[in-house]
Amino acid sequence: MHSILLSGVAPRPIALVSTMDSNGNVNLSPFSFFNAYASKPPIVAIGPAFSAATGKAKDTYLNIIETGECTINSVQYSMVEQINLASCEYERGTDEFVKSGLTKRPSQIVKPPMVAESLFSMECKYLENIPLGRSIGGNGNLMLVEAVRFHIAESAFVDGKLHPQRLDLVARMGYNWYVRAHGEAVFELAKPKWNGIGFDALPESITSSDILTGNDLAKLAGVKELPMRDENFPYFTEHLTADSLEVELQAGNGLGALYAIKSIRKERIILHRIAKVFLEADDIDKAWQTLLLE
């Protein structure tokens, strides 16, 4: 159950949590049962489980209950080996900053220090714990904490916005898999600007396509209203020349592909392939007009 659940509910962000017991002993541990649930006020939760092997509570859990404070720090790719080391089950009272070689940075409101290497840190106050178990080892907890101060490195911003390529965050997946939210793995998807017509408004000739995928159909279904055929489409410029259909499709040149087939039969399968080229370029108008040529 553990591995299946954690493989399907993935990737999960990782909270690098620092806490202190009432004697001032510092603790640092990673938790991927972690997420944000509200922004006003900013409330996040972590899920320290009772050890499956021993049934013992995690130091993080005990410290938060005892002192009501923690800091939550981001995990960049450059820190993965160190957070892995910090996750070792050291004895209560062991300072995993020392073990992992990560650096303490004083907090302003709470007592536990932040992690200097993290680009994004939150000072947090404990709100409540929801026990998720029935006193069996492996049972979980849902600890809600409120972020009372944020600390974000200047270097994480591009044009005033936090940028994923700068944050270079790492997330946990099933078994021993991790994922790095960086490079081509990171993409943008704009929120819908209006209520799209929906799949149920798409003609059957389009929804039954062997070429267009669910993502392609969703782009077509995202238009405000069902488009009408534009008799002037496709508008070829005088200078347009085209190679064969296959060459134009390979080159992602939708208009060239239409030019290449202008004198041959406009079969559905070909029109769907050309529409897909326009969809890949986010040219939804031309994709629709191509489909309406049938």
Ligand X SMILES: Cc1cc2nc3c(=O)[nH]c(=O)nc-3n(C[C@H](O)[C@H](O)[C@H](O)COP(=O)(O)O)c2cc1C
Does 87 contact ligand X by CB under 6 A?
Answer: yes
- Contact (CB, 8 A) for 14 and 32: yes
- When the beta carbons of 21 and 283 are compared against ligand X, the nearer one is 21
Does 84 contact ligand X by CB under 6 A?
Answer: yes
Tell me how crowded residue 64 is: count the other CB atoms within 10 A of its CB: 26
Closest residue by Cα to residue 253 from 220, 211, 290, 228: 290
- When the beta carbons of 112 and 256 are compared against ligand X, the nearer one is 112
**Non-local CB neighbours of 175 within 8 Å, separated by 6+ positions:** 3, 6, 7
> Between residue 24 and residue 63, which ones bind ligand X under the rule CB under 6 A?
27, 29-33, 47-49, 58-60
> Between residue 110 and residue 169, which ones bind ligand X under the rule CB under 6 A?
none
Does 89 contact ligand X by CB under 6 A?
Answer: yes
Interface segment toward ligand X; rule CB under 6 A; list 23-31, 35-43, 103-111, 183-191: 23-31
Does 289 contact ligand X by CB under 6 A?
Answer: no
Token output for 122: 């939150």
> Between residue 202 and residue 241, which ones bind ligand X under the rule CB under 6 A?
none
**Non-local CB neighbours of 50 within 8 Å, separated by 6+ positions:** 56, 57, 58, 133, 136, 137, 138, 139, 140, 141
- When the beta carbons of 29 and 289 are compared against ligand X, the nearer one is 29
Using alpha carbons only, give the angle 47, 128, 22 rounded to the nearest 5 degrees: 85
CA distance 255 to 272: 13
- When the beta carbons of 85 and 218 are compared against ligand X, the nearer one is 85
CB of 46 to ligand X, least distance (A): 7
- Which residues form the interface with ligand X (CB under 6 A)? 14, 27, 29-33, 47-49, 58-60, 84, 87-89, 172
